[in-house]
Structure 1
């Protein structure tokens, strides 16, 4: 209780000092750090990775971007990367584009980094065991 009273007094004094000291300049608010949407982060990372599978062009962001949220959900349910890429509807492939297995591993990692970064350590460990990282 005593700690709370001291903390409250400190906050009130700091507020009074900021408002009163004769300096009429406005106090600068810290600018919020910009948030980058996971899809933007993911597509930028895919572009930067220059995956061999996409040498002639990266698939449409909306189509490719459908995979990472589903991967994150499956990883959250306890599935492995190997399981993800063994599932037909989770393997990164489209009507007119495909992904080589080595690139698919990298793609999953990029997706995890953008959409569910708390799973990155586990995914990297699994990819190391598979010899894919």
Structure 2
């Protein structure tokens, strides 16, 4: 059975622990992705990254990236709008789960839906004009 979870991202918080030595060993941190006052996901900054999963009550997504990706992740979170985090697990042996941080913009309306919407708007405008005159 396929597992899927999608959460909107409205903000983020960054937590970093400095390295234990000058060589950078022991660096650790995470980015908390928020959906309002709820957790949308956590991105751990660890090397090597571990397999993504849902938390124990399946309300948010947990994933990880190599610490070298920190600036890229922050750039995306700061400069892109209307993002979501999406978890997908086909639960097929040998095929690990995937996590996507992606646009949550509405999907384009197909031509049939567009004409129905246009007709409804025209009817509403006509009704308003009739009431005025």
TM-score by length of 1: 0.21
Larger Rg: 1
- The structure richer in strand per residue is 2
Q: Which has the higher contact order (CA 8 A, sep 6+)?
A: 1
- The structure richer in helix per residue is 1
